[in-house]
Amino acid sequence: MEVIEELERILEKAPRIPFTDRVFVDGDLILDYLDRLRTLLPEELRQAQWIRQEKDRLLEEARRQAERLVAEAEEKARLLAQETEIVRQARAQAGEITSKARHTAAELKAGAVAYAGEVLKSLEGHLSDVLVRVRQGIQELENHRPPSQDQ
């Protein structure tokens, strides 16, 4: 910047050609300043180029990291959706199993009640037969009993 400012001062102090915007300058002096600029510029250019490369590298790294984060988020979303689907299927299957179990239990209960009813009716029939026989036995015993002395 100092070299450029010196060049500006040289041009400002240079004598003017009348009726024009042109100035008289020492060509060797200007060439000397241009050489100085040329020797100074490569370092700044290298720094600017390094800064540009660093910026490009950082942008590329940020892009890769963003892509990785998006991929991870998509994978997590896919897994959650898959888990949700598995849970939904498991609940549906559990509902079906529960429904079948209730239906089977109702059928078993109805069958057990019917069987118990049949067994009790059969037992009642047998007991009725036994009761009839017991009464017949009592009747026969009474018919064969000697008359009592009171009679």
Domain count, the chain: 1
pLDDT, tens only, 48-104 = 888 889 898 999 999 999 999 999 999 998 888 888 888 888 889 999 999 999 999
In-domain check, residue 150: no
Mean pLDDT across the stretch 10-14? 88
In-domain check, residue 39: yes
In-domain check, residue 148: no
* E-state strands within the chain: none
3-state class (DSSP) for residue 79: helix
In-domain check, residue 123: yes
pLDDT, tens only, 106-146 = 999 999 999 989 989 998 999 998 999 999 999 988 888 77
Whole-Å CA distances, 19 to 11, 22, 25: 17, 9, 17
> For position 50, what pLDDT does the model report?
85
> For position 150, what pLDDT does the model report?
61
Segments forming the whole domain that contains residue 125: 2-143
pLDDT, tens only, 13-53 = 888 888 888 888 888 988 988 888 877 777 777 788 888 89
Q: Residues for the chain: how many in total?
A: 151
